[in-house]
Amino acid sequence: MANNIDKPEEKPPKISDKIVIEVKDLVKTYHSGAGDTLVLKGLNFQIHEGEFVSIMGPSGSGKSTTMHILGALDTATSGDYILDGVNTKDLSEDELAGVRSRKIGFIFQAFNLLAHKTVLENVMLPGMYGHLPMTLRHQKATELIKLVKLENRAHHRASQLSGGQQQRVAIARSLMMDPAIILADEPTGNLPTDQTDEVLRFLTSLNRDQGKTIIIITHEPAVASYSDRTIVLRDGVITSDGPANRNVHYDCA
């Protein structure tokens, strides 16, 4: 049924020489009562500015942990993660908050909007933590809401929107501080198929038109097929890293 969805592949990505993400020998161990669990066993990869990358793997492969470290939400046990030229190992808790504020835009599977706030307020929220002046914040949020085509919903509460609409709000929010990288963790996991395509097309256009580096975490080949490059993880190691298979469609995923 969705077989005939055309992916916006005609436009090639504009990938620059600049490396925005560099991961060297990244190791993550979780400590628990039952002993230590080695989740990431030494990852190495680089992502250039303007790339659209998917990180795939089954559950337990370490893809979520990778995402958290890339998003500066968590730190590696050993190895280096250099984000935009800065080794995050050396950063304090507050400096990491600054990195999250300015360099990274997050999109989550569960949308994570503040349900009682309006669409506009949700989109503006990162601006508060990023110390944008109120007028600029308002103006920018209005533009972003227009970009995700929700201008007639700006003053609705987030809880009144459909899943796809909520995820579009989340996309607008992730762009508020104009970050270099957008990290999307299973962004379509909670969406029906028709809204999935809409959200993924949106991310693609951000990559193609605005040159945003996009990293998408997914276990669905169909979702990964929108990207240009796929890194596959299994049991904490990279098993393949290469061009994405763009010929996967929903009903055959």
Partner 1 sequence: MIALEIFREALSSLWQNKGRTFLSVLGIVIGIASVIVMMGIGQGAQDSITSEVGGLGTSTINLINMSREKPLTLKDLDAILANDYAGVFSAYCAQTQGSYTLAAGSESVESVSVTGVTAGYLTVEGKTVELGNFFDDDDFATGNRVIAVGQAVAKDIYGSASAAIGQRLNVGTIPFTIVAVFASESSSGMSFSDPDSFAVVPLSAMQNSLTGSSSLGSISFLLTDAAQATTAKSIIGYTMLARHNLTDVADADFTIFAATDLLEVLTAVTGTMTMLLSGIAGISLVVGGIGIMNVMLMSVMERTREIGLRKALGARQITLIAQFLFEAVLITCLGGIIGLLIGLGGCTAYSFIMTQMSNDARAVVSWSSVILSIGISTAIGLIFGIYPARKAAKLPPIEALRTE
Distance CA 15, CA 208 (A): 10
* Binding span for partner 1 by CB under 8 A among 120-128, 148-156, 159-167, 189-197: 120-128
Going along 74-223, which residue ranges are E strands? 78-83, 86-87, 104-107, 181-185, 213-218
Does 60 interact with partner 1 (rule: CB under 8 A)? Answer: no
The nearest distance, CB 118 to partner 1, in angstroms, is 11
The nearest distance, CB 187 to partner 1, in angstroms, is 14
Does 108 interact with partner 1 (rule: CB under 8 A)? Answer: yes
CB distance 145 to 119 below 8 Å: yes
Kindly list the strands in the beta sheet with 35-48, ordered across the sheet, starting from the edge strand earlier in the chain. 35-48, 19-32, 78-83, 86-87
With respect to partner 1, which residue has the nearer C-beta, 6 or 94? 94
CA dihedral 180→195→189→14, nearest 10 degrees, is -30
Does 178 interact with partner 1 (rule: CB under 8 A)? Answer: no
Distance CA 223, CA 209 (A): 20
HSE value, Cβ hemisphere, 13 Å, CA-based, for 100: 19
Does 250 interact with partner 1 (rule: CB under 8 A)? Answer: no
One symbol per residue from 66 to 105: x for binding partner 1 (CB under 8 A), - otherwise; what is it?
A: --x--x-xx------------------xx--xx-xxx---
Does 131 interact with partner 1 (rule: CB under 8 A)? Answer: yes
Contacting residues toward partner 1, per CB under 8 A: 68, 71, 73-74, 93-94, 97-98, 100-102, 106, 108, 110, 112, 114, 116-117, 125-126, 128-131, 173, 177
